[in-house]
Amino acid sequence: MGRPNHRPKKKTGASQELVCRRETKRVPSAAPLSSALGSAGRLRLVGGFFLRLLFWYGLVIAMITLWPAFQRGYAAFFRAYAGGVFDSFHLSGRTEWVPAAGHGDFDTEVKLRNVRVPGLVAKTYCGSRRMGYAPLSLIVALILATPLPWRRRWIAMLWGLLAVHLFIALRLEIMLLSNFCGDIPLRLYTPTPFWRGVLHEVSWVIAGAFPSAFIGPAVLWVLVTFRRGDSERWIGPRVPAGNYASAETARRGRV
Protein backbone atom coordinates (compact mmCIF):
# COMPACT_ATOMS: atom_id res chain seq x y z
CA MET A 1 0.00 0.00 0.00
CA GLY A 2 2.90 2.39 0.70
CA ARG A 3 4.61 1.98 -2.67
CA PRO A 4 1.85 3.39 -4.91
CA ASN A 5 1.59 6.48 -2.69
CA HIS A 6 5.24 7.53 -3.29
CA ARG A 7 5.38 7.06 -7.07
CA PRO A 8 3.09 10.00 -8.07
CA LYS A 9 5.11 12.41 -5.92
CA LYS A 10 8.31 11.48 -7.72
CA LYS A 11 6.70 11.97 -11.13
CA THR A 12 5.25 15.32 -10.10
CA GLY A 13 8.59 16.56 -8.83
CA ALA A 14 10.31 15.43 -12.02
CA SER A 15 7.75 17.21 -14.17
CA GLN A 16 8.17 20.43 -12.16
CA GLU A 17 11.94 20.28 -12.55
CA LEU A 18 11.61 19.63 -16.30
CA VAL A 19 9.25 22.61 -16.78
CA CYS A 20 11.60 24.93 -14.89
CA ARG A 21 14.54 23.85 -17.00
CA ARG A 22 12.61 24.39 -20.22
CA GLU A 23 11.47 27.85 -19.12
CA THR A 24 15.00 28.80 -18.14
CA LYS A 25 16.38 27.79 -21.54
CA ARG A 26 13.60 29.26 -23.66
CA VAL A 27 13.11 32.78 -22.29
CA PRO A 28 16.68 34.17 -22.51
CA SER A 29 17.14 32.91 -26.07
CA ALA A 30 14.78 35.55 -27.51
CA ALA A 31 16.41 38.52 -25.77
CA PRO A 32 19.74 38.60 -27.66
CA LEU A 33 17.91 38.24 -30.99
CA SER A 34 15.59 41.20 -30.37
CA SER A 35 18.49 43.22 -29.02
CA ALA A 36 20.56 42.51 -32.13
CA LEU A 37 17.70 43.44 -34.44
CA GLY A 38 17.11 46.66 -32.51
CA SER A 39 20.79 47.61 -32.69
CA ALA A 40 20.88 47.00 -36.45
CA GLY A 41 17.77 49.12 -36.96
CA ARG A 42 19.19 51.99 -34.92
CA LEU A 43 22.47 51.72 -36.80
CA ARG A 44 20.66 52.07 -40.14
CA LEU A 45 18.65 55.01 -38.77
CA VAL A 46 21.73 56.90 -37.56
CA GLY A 47 23.73 56.02 -40.67
CA GLY A 48 20.95 57.26 -42.93
CA PHE A 49 20.74 60.49 -40.94
CA PHE A 50 24.43 61.24 -41.43
CA LEU A 51 24.27 60.46 -45.15
CA ARG A 52 21.33 62.84 -45.58
CA LEU A 53 23.13 65.44 -43.46
CA LEU A 54 26.16 65.32 -45.76
CA PHE A 55 23.91 65.69 -48.79
CA TRP A 56 21.89 68.66 -47.49
CA TYR A 57 24.86 70.43 -45.95
CA GLY A 58 26.88 70.01 -49.14
CA LEU A 59 23.97 71.41 -51.13
CA VAL A 60 23.48 74.55 -49.05
CA ILE A 61 27.24 75.20 -48.95
CA ALA A 62 27.51 74.70 -52.72
CA MET A 63 24.78 77.31 -53.25
CA ILE A 64 26.83 80.10 -51.68
CA THR A 65 30.18 78.80 -52.96
CA LEU A 66 29.33 78.16 -56.61
CA TRP A 67 26.60 80.76 -57.13
CA PRO A 68 28.04 84.31 -56.85
CA ALA A 69 24.62 85.94 -57.21
CA PHE A 70 23.33 83.97 -54.22
CA GLN A 71 26.40 84.95 -52.21
CA ARG A 72 25.89 88.64 -52.98
CA GLY A 73 22.20 88.35 -52.20
CA TYR A 74 22.81 86.75 -48.82
CA ALA A 75 25.50 89.33 -47.97
CA ALA A 76 23.00 92.11 -48.73
CA PHE A 77 20.37 90.39 -46.58
CA PHE A 78 22.89 89.97 -43.74
CA ARG A 79 23.78 93.67 -43.80
CA ALA A 80 20.11 94.67 -43.88
CA TYR A 81 19.31 92.37 -40.96
CA ALA A 82 22.28 93.56 -38.88
CA GLY A 83 21.56 97.20 -39.67
CA GLY A 84 17.91 96.84 -38.72
CA VAL A 85 18.71 95.20 -35.39
CA PHE A 86 21.74 97.31 -34.42
CA ASP A 87 21.07 100.67 -36.08
CA SER A 88 20.97 102.00 -32.51
CA PHE A 89 23.33 100.18 -30.18
CA HIS A 90 22.50 100.61 -26.49
CA LEU A 91 21.97 104.33 -25.68
CA SER A 92 24.58 106.28 -27.60
CA GLY A 93 26.03 103.84 -30.11
CA ARG A 94 25.18 103.86 -33.79
CA THR A 95 26.22 101.39 -36.46
CA GLU A 96 26.19 101.33 -40.24
CA TRP A 97 26.71 98.15 -42.30
CA VAL A 98 28.06 98.64 -45.82
CA PRO A 99 29.78 96.40 -48.40
CA ALA A 100 33.55 96.10 -48.08
CA ALA A 101 35.91 95.45 -50.98
CA GLY A 102 39.43 94.14 -50.84
CA HIS A 103 39.14 92.43 -47.46
CA GLY A 104 38.78 88.81 -48.54
CA ASP A 105 36.05 86.94 -46.69
CA PHE A 106 35.26 90.06 -44.64
CA ASP A 107 32.69 91.42 -47.04
CA THR A 108 31.00 93.81 -44.59
CA GLU A 109 32.35 97.05 -43.14
CA VAL A 110 30.80 98.17 -39.86
CA LYS A 111 31.00 101.89 -39.06
CA LEU A 112 30.78 102.68 -35.35
CA ARG A 113 29.65 106.05 -33.99
CA ASN A 114 28.94 107.58 -30.61
CA VAL A 115 26.41 110.42 -30.54
CA ARG A 116 28.21 111.94 -27.54
CA VAL A 117 31.39 112.24 -29.62
CA PRO A 118 30.25 113.72 -32.95
CA GLY A 119 32.52 113.68 -35.95
CA LEU A 120 34.39 110.45 -35.06
CA VAL A 121 33.91 107.16 -36.87
CA ALA A 122 35.55 103.82 -36.11
CA LYS A 123 35.51 100.82 -38.43
CA THR A 124 35.56 97.07 -38.04
CA TYR A 125 34.96 94.24 -40.49
CA CYS A 126 33.09 90.95 -40.45
CA GLY A 127 32.14 88.25 -42.92
CA SER A 128 28.49 87.51 -43.67
CA ARG A 129 29.30 83.93 -44.57
CA ARG A 130 31.07 83.15 -41.31
CA MET A 131 28.87 85.17 -38.98
CA GLY A 132 25.51 84.38 -40.55
CA TYR A 133 25.45 81.76 -43.27
CA ALA A 134 27.56 79.15 -41.44
CA PRO A 135 25.14 78.65 -38.52
CA LEU A 136 22.13 79.09 -40.80
CA SER A 137 23.25 76.42 -43.25
CA LEU A 138 24.00 73.90 -40.51
CA ILE A 139 20.64 74.10 -38.76
CA VAL A 140 18.82 73.91 -42.10
CA ALA A 141 20.77 70.77 -43.08
CA LEU A 142 20.24 69.17 -39.65
CA ILE A 143 16.48 69.68 -39.72
CA LEU A 144 16.11 68.44 -43.31
CA ALA A 145 18.18 65.32 -42.52
CA THR A 146 16.27 64.39 -39.36
CA PRO A 147 14.20 61.19 -39.84
CA LEU A 148 10.85 62.69 -38.87
CA PRO A 149 7.61 63.31 -40.81
CA TRP A 150 7.94 66.24 -43.20
CA ARG A 151 5.23 68.22 -41.43
CA ARG A 152 7.25 68.16 -38.23
CA ARG A 153 10.40 69.09 -40.16
CA TRP A 154 8.79 72.18 -41.66
CA ILE A 155 7.46 73.28 -38.28
CA ALA A 156 10.93 72.77 -36.80
CA MET A 157 12.36 74.72 -39.75
CA LEU A 158 10.25 77.77 -38.90
CA TRP A 159 11.33 77.70 -35.26
CA GLY A 160 14.90 76.90 -36.25
CA LEU A 161 15.18 79.90 -38.59
CA LEU A 162 13.88 82.17 -35.86
CA ALA A 163 16.23 80.69 -33.26
CA VAL A 164 19.33 80.79 -35.47
CA HIS A 165 18.78 84.46 -36.33
CA LEU A 166 18.55 85.24 -32.63
CA PHE A 167 21.84 83.37 -32.25
CA ILE A 168 23.36 85.44 -35.08
CA ALA A 169 22.13 88.61 -33.35
CA LEU A 170 23.82 87.43 -30.14
CA ARG A 171 27.11 86.96 -31.97
CA LEU A 172 26.89 90.44 -33.46
CA GLU A 173 25.91 91.97 -30.11
CA ILE A 174 29.02 90.58 -28.43
CA MET A 175 31.24 91.61 -31.34
CA LEU A 176 29.93 95.20 -31.23
CA LEU A 177 30.14 95.39 -27.46
CA SER A 178 33.77 94.30 -27.58
CA ASN A 179 34.54 97.04 -30.10
CA PHE A 180 32.63 99.74 -28.22
CA CYS A 181 34.56 98.85 -25.06
CA GLY A 182 37.92 99.06 -26.79
CA ASP A 183 40.56 101.71 -26.35
CA ILE A 184 39.01 104.19 -28.80
CA PRO A 185 37.77 107.78 -28.27
CA LEU A 186 34.13 106.92 -29.03
CA ARG A 187 33.90 103.95 -26.67
CA LEU A 188 30.61 103.55 -24.81
CA TYR A 189 32.00 101.84 -21.71
CA THR A 190 35.38 101.82 -19.94
CA PRO A 191 35.76 98.43 -18.24
CA THR A 192 38.80 97.54 -16.20
CA PRO A 193 41.61 95.66 -17.95
CA PHE A 194 40.43 92.42 -16.35
CA TRP A 195 36.84 92.72 -17.62
CA ARG A 196 38.05 93.95 -20.97
CA GLY A 197 40.10 90.77 -21.25
CA VAL A 198 37.09 88.66 -20.25
CA LEU A 199 34.92 90.38 -22.85
CA HIS A 200 37.59 89.85 -25.48
CA GLU A 201 37.72 86.11 -24.74
CA VAL A 202 33.94 85.77 -24.73
CA SER A 203 33.78 87.63 -28.03
CA TRP A 204 36.36 85.30 -29.50
CA VAL A 205 34.60 82.13 -28.29
CA ILE A 206 31.06 83.10 -29.39
CA ALA A 207 31.64 85.39 -32.36
CA GLY A 208 35.17 84.75 -33.57
CA ALA A 209 36.02 81.08 -33.08
CA PHE A 210 35.03 78.84 -35.98
CA PRO A 211 33.49 75.98 -33.87
CA SER A 212 30.94 78.36 -32.33
CA ALA A 213 29.18 78.56 -35.71
CA PHE A 214 28.44 74.83 -35.40
CA ILE A 215 27.96 74.18 -31.68
CA GLY A 216 25.24 76.79 -31.24
CA PRO A 217 23.08 75.63 -34.19
CA ALA A 218 23.44 71.99 -33.10
CA VAL A 219 22.02 72.83 -29.67
CA LEU A 220 19.19 74.84 -31.24
CA TRP A 221 18.41 71.95 -33.61
CA VAL A 222 17.86 69.61 -30.67
CA LEU A 223 15.63 72.15 -28.90
CA VAL A 224 13.35 72.96 -31.85
CA THR A 225 13.14 69.52 -33.49
CA PHE A 226 12.74 66.76 -30.92
CA ARG A 227 9.91 65.92 -28.59
CA ARG A 228 9.65 63.62 -25.62
CA GLY A 229 9.79 60.03 -26.80
CA ASP A 230 11.74 60.68 -30.01
CA SER A 231 14.91 59.39 -28.36
CA GLU A 232 13.45 55.86 -28.37
CA ARG A 233 13.81 55.80 -32.16
CA TRP A 234 17.52 56.53 -31.82
CA ILE A 235 18.66 54.68 -28.69
CA GLY A 236 15.71 52.39 -28.01
CA PRO A 237 13.29 52.34 -25.04
CA ARG A 238 14.65 52.29 -21.54
CA VAL A 239 14.31 48.94 -19.77
CA PRO A 240 14.97 48.79 -16.02
CA ALA A 241 17.85 46.47 -15.21
CA GLY A 242 15.84 44.27 -12.81
CA ASN A 243 12.82 43.65 -15.05
CA TYR A 244 14.06 40.48 -16.71
CA ALA A 245 15.25 38.90 -13.48
CA SER A 246 12.00 39.69 -11.67
CA ALA A 247 9.89 38.31 -14.52
CA GLU A 248 11.90 35.07 -14.53
CA THR A 249 11.51 34.73 -10.77
CA ALA A 250 7.76 35.22 -11.06
CA ARG A 251 7.50 32.53 -13.74
CA ARG A 252 9.39 30.07 -11.60
CA GLY A 253 7.12 30.84 -8.67
CA ARG A 254 4.00 30.15 -10.74
CA VAL A 255 5.42 26.82 -11.89
For the segment 150-206, what is each residue's pLDDT rounded down to a tens digit? Answer: 999 999 999 999 999 999 999 999 999 999 998 889 999 999 999 999 999 999 999
Asked if the structure places residue 6 within a domain, the reply is no
Higher pLDDT, 114 or 253: 114
CA distance 153 to 147: 9
- Say which range, 9-23, 93-107, 114-128, 148-162, has the weakest mean pLDDT: 9-23
Asked if the structure places residue 63 within a domain, the reply is yes
Domain count, the chain: 1
Per the document, the length of the chain is 255
Q: What is the pTM of this model?
A: 0.76
pLDDT of amino acid 203: 92
Asked if the structure places residue 5 within a domain, the reply is no
**Is residue 75 a contact partner of residue 86, using CB atoms and an 8 Å limit?**
no
Q: Which residue in 138, 130, 132, 148 sits closest to 60, CA to CA?
A: 138
Asked if the structure places residue 247 within a domain, the reply is no
What range does the domain containing 134 cover? 47-86+128-235
